[in-house]
Structure 1
């Protein structure tokens, strides 16, 4: 992976790792679904403002429909699934299941998009998941129907992430490409559109939620702005640029780094302890990244006339 792309990968992981801290501030006050909707709405507005400042016209070149669908697959559905899972799953389990994204990408790529599946990539995915498990230090939970449903929701979300990377490559990159900022804007517009009726129905069922929005203190609004403008708008610009530069599988390895940055932000900003388990998990994740990101050997070419 070229150095600029690797630095983008690190910055993306830092942003998405920080999103857990910001959601910890906003979600208990506003609820998971309104927080998710505010995140994608502010992300879309932030991206629109960015294009306006840069005087970059949002010309989709006939790919507007594709980017809207990408937003549903890559943001709308996964955000809803993780919000549902949070009702029954401990955060550690969600982090572990989120790390199955590259595995989903490897499987979907091999089954539907002709990607080569190698022992090194599979081994890297397994090592990465083990590293996240060590970091999360998740304990056993009873496999109740609610817990199983939460696990299934997480796996639906990671399958969406894995699928969206390849759809972006096929629908956008291989059809002439688009500026990553325009792809990010279209994707967040799609997420907003799919979440509008869900949020409207939730507010009709629970009108008190609207009052919580109006009465939210300044730190909550600050957290929402950070989630929307930094962890969504800027993050998706970086993500779609990574897909265009290094491909979907390598871009998906960001999910291995997110827990590391989540721990680092917690240690720096919240005074949470850093333990030997964090160091061990970080070592496993580093080894996983090396296995997944290293170049794939070229397939052997049969010699003409060989018998």
Structure 2
């Protein structure tokens, strides 16, 4: 049985770090690509003597603000509004249950502190503690212990409540994490008649995924990348620098070839053929007028 009061780790595991790196790269791309007139710049009027009266400072949005702005675009939310919900499979779930902030409500620490001071917590508050601890375990790849905590969270929150239904969505995914897919399917099927529309909609999508045929993969289906840890700036300059290009020289064959438009050295005024043709032309015109 897993301990119910585990310290919530603030460090993401390896298989979740890539998601944050993608968001960070997208935020950096946004800061580079968005035109200056549309970038969010926050003026801070200051009266610091070192900057003089009425000094003004412009600050760039933080990484968290940039990620929220990206989520606003992808989820079709008004900028800065409705961020307590996230759009998943066309439904709107609570932001601390789904999306990149799932399990990061940081309510458990405060609730545990209140409990240690002798304060009695409600079942709903106890459910929040079990939920946050379960997500922390899943991020450490301990899905087996997470299943037990999520079951407790569902019981305390009420399986027919919106919050309890959202916890069951996580319980199904935790069951899949320990190869108990049949049980995960049963949990998702039980949500078909849930009272909350958003929970029903998301559970139907997850059920479709859970019941999809399993892929039979082998080594040929994966791509192996070489170790690049030894590549540094020095290596980049030494081995990946621009190659030296030898100057181009005409070959003997090219020098013997005649190109259209090539200067032959003969000017029209010095060409005897052209001179003779001009005389013949003048004589011909004179004959026409005389006749």
Confirm or deny a common fold (TM above 0.5): no
Which structure's relative contact order is higher, taking Cα pairs within 8 Å and 6+ residues apart?
Answer: 1
**Which one has the bigger strand percentage?**
2
> Normalised by the size of structure 2, how large is the TM-score?
0.23
Is the radius of gyration larger for structure 1 or structure 2?
2
